[in-house]
Amino acid sequence: MGTLLNSLTTELRRGTLTLAVLSQLRTPQYGYSLVQLLENSSITIDQSTLYPLLRRLEKQGLVTSSWDTSEGRPRKYYVLSEFGLEIFTQLKEEWLKNSRELYELLKGEEDE
């Protein structure tokens, strides 16, 4: 029972991860700072999912990256591209619409 619920919850969350990551990249972030930002909003993300996800977003042209070597430790910063910002805005709209609809659906269930 518990494991089934777990896997269903993971499945539910998986789709929203991209949106969560994109939302935090309007300002440049490096890997760990992004993890902390997300964790502050109590969004847990598997690290082995996050780093490959960032690379994929870069490949798709949604984010750009640059190495910052001015500090002691070199860090790779990611930030939304113009195209990424556009997609993010639309994706956000889509999500809000979906969650409103789902909310209505679930509320209707409770009223019955």
Partner 1 sequence: MNLIDVYIQEVTRRLPEKNREDIALELRSTIEDMLPDRYSEQDVQSVLQKMGNPVSLASGYRDQPMHLIGPRYFDVYVSLLKMILPIAAVVAFISVIAEYISGVNGEEAIINVILDIIGFGIWRILEVAIQTFFWLTVVFAILERVDKDKDNQPLSTALTKWTPDDLKNITYIPKKKAISKFEVFFGLLWTSIWAALYFYANQLIGIYEGGEDGLTLVAPVFNQEILLQYWPLAAALLAFELALTLYKFIKGQWTKRLAIVNAIYELTATVILSIILLTPNILTPEFADYKTGFEHLDTWLIPMVIIIFAVFAVSNGIDGFRKARSTVKS
Interaction residues for partner 1, span 62-91 (CB under 8 A)? 67, 73-76
Q: Which residues contact 81 (CB under 8 A, 6 or more apart)?
A: 61, 62, 63, 64
Could you tell me the smallest distance in angstroms from the CB atom of residue 26 to partner 1?
Answer: 21
The helix (H) or strand (E) run that includes residue 75 is: strand 75-80
Based on the shown chain and the rule CB under 8 A, indicate whether residue 7 belongs to the binding site for partner 1: no
Q: What's the CA gap between 28 and 100, in Å, rounded?
A: 30
Based on the shown chain and the rule CB under 8 A, indicate whether residue 51 belongs to the binding site for partner 1: yes
Beta-bridged to residue 107, according to DSSP, are none
Site string for partner 1, 9-38 (x = CB under 8 A): ---------------------xxxx-----
Binding site for partner 1 (CB under 8 A): 30-33, 46-49, 51-53, 55, 67, 73-76
